[in-house]
Amino acid sequence: MSVRSDKMGMKIIIIGAGNVGSTLVEQLAHEGHDITIIDIVARKIQAITDNYDVMGIVGNGASYSLLMEAGIEQADLLIAVTESDELNLLCCTVAKRVGRCAAIARVRMPDYSKEVQYLQEQLKLALVINPEMETAKEAARILAMPTALDVMSFAHGQAELIKIAIPEGNRIAGMTLAEIGKKLSVSALVCAVERNGEVYIPSGSFRLESGDTLTFAASRRNIRAFMDTFGFKSRRVRDTLIVGGSKAAYYLAQELIHSGVEVKIIEQSRERCDELSVLLPKAIIINGDGTEEGLLKEEGIERADSFVPLTGIDEVNIILTLYARKISQAKVITKINRMNFKSVVNSLELGSVIYPRYITAEAIIAYVRARYESRSNSIETLYHLFDQRVEAIEFRVEEASEVTDIPLRDLKRKDELLIACINRDGHIIIPSGDDCIRVGDTVMIVTKHLGFRSLTEILK
């Protein structure tokens, strides 16, 4: 595994040292950028500056004098990810007035999220991101393909990267990837495999085993054919039981109801139940404690197609997941905000786990890399796989380069790297050695080399 790290990176100011802010510091500092982190809580700043070579400032990130102290006039980018939408927008507004930097705001309230395009245009923001909404979209994609552990979307939803575990006795176990290719009636490509803690970018001779976790790429319309061919269930869920009436629960319910899925939400606050009843007239809203075993059974957890605990407490979400997996066959998704004891969490076999901090950070890092290396292509989408050991990156090819109009078999590519798919005018190509990358394409690569900013970096 290699990590890209240049000494002359961008000057980036991050306001907010919570889960997302600390994740951004970790990843952007690792990629060689000059980071300043601002927060009103001194112990948060101290914890970050103790662990990373970054500048920390305690104070209000919307303050003109504080931003001047942080070097806003020389900054390339300001990222506001505090808990307050209004403060994030104010920080970006002050930064745009004082400096010439780009600005990114985290905005989570539904009222603001309906006005993202307006806010982005009027405040001249580079990016507005809503982690709860993105979390809900990811959960909805998984529930549409419940056998999957994770579903990552590319090419504006036309292609997906699907993560699945191979159970004991499945017919795909014991087959090489070349043999799998011959059995398929559609195009798909196995891009990465995790086995006994090791991750492989496999060749055609790689033989799969029971217990492996694999990630494959295919066009959206071909995914079910791949799953059905090898005995994986591909039917979407018919109903979902959600515990917790958070913003993420609201966004997820919206997505599922739109797809024809029946939704039931258990929420402890009577006031929030009344709000959700108005916002989600097609959902069933139950006022009660979703951690009570009796209530869960009364509301049908044993018969539910899927179950999603969305309380604000990670430990509660984990316990509810383990309970659901014990007493039902429901597809379960667990949302985890913090990263404490990650090795223990991974050993619990929770199935599909969603980390909102990574969803937010990946969108921002994709923007940072594209802005830093914007000569011939830009990054459309970025995902981290297998505990940050693999990246899947979608590049837009904006002009000719040393990787365009050459058969892929003739490109001298780095090891541990696959060109997984090409999107050409909405047509998804799972490429062979005869295919070429052309100007106007978007190209998705999967690699253990971390930190690519340009498609040309795939070359040796």
Domains and CATH numbers, the chain: 2-129 (3.40.50.720), 135-229 (3.30.70.1450), 239-354 (3.40.50.720), 359-458 (3.30.70.1450)
Q: Are strands 102-106 and 127-129 parallel, antiparallel or unpaired?
A: parallel
The per-residue pLDDT for 358 is 87
CA 132 – CA 360 distance, rounded (Å): 9
Mean pLDDT for 254-280 is 96
- Residues 196-226 have pLDDT tens digits of 989 999 999 999 999 999 999 999 989 988 8
> 239: how many CB neighbours lie within 10 A of its CB?
17
Mean of the pLDDT values across residues 168-184? 90
Please determine, for residue 5, whether its predicted confidence score (pLDDT) is greater than 50: no
pTM of the model: 0.85
Q: Report how far residue 278's alpha carbon sits from residue 451's, in angstroms, rounded to the nearest whole number.
A: 45
Residues with Cβ within 8 Å of residue 304, at least 6 apart in sequence: 239, 240, 241, 324, 328, 330
Mean pLDDT over residues 93-98, rounded? 90
Average pLDDT value for the chain = 90
DSSP 207: B
pLDDT at residue 140 tops 50: yes
Neighbours of 310 (CB within 10 A): 29
**More confident: 395 or 341:** 395
Structure-block tokens of residue 202: 């496999």
Residues ≥6 apart with Cβ < 8 Å to 168: 210, 211
Q: Is 77 helix (H, G, I), strand (E, B) or coil?
A: strand
pLDDT confidence band for 448 (50 / 70 / 90)? very high
DSSP 248-285: HHHHHHHHHHHTT-EEEEEES-HHHHHHHHHH-TTSEE
pLDDT at 366 over 90: no
Q: Position 92: which residue type?
A: C
CB 140 within 8 A of CB 256: yes
Residue 259 has pLDDT above 60, yes or no: yes
Top mean pLDDT of 129-133, 251-255, 351-355, 366-370 is at 251-255
When pLDDT is averaged across residues 349-353 and rounded to a whole number, the result is 85
Kindly tell me if the per-residue pLDDT of 90 is higher than 50. Answer: yes
pLDDT reported for residue 11 = 94
Q: b or e along 313-341 (b: 16 or more beta carbons within 10 Å of the residue's beta carbon)?
A: ebeebbebbebbbeebebbbbbbbbeeee
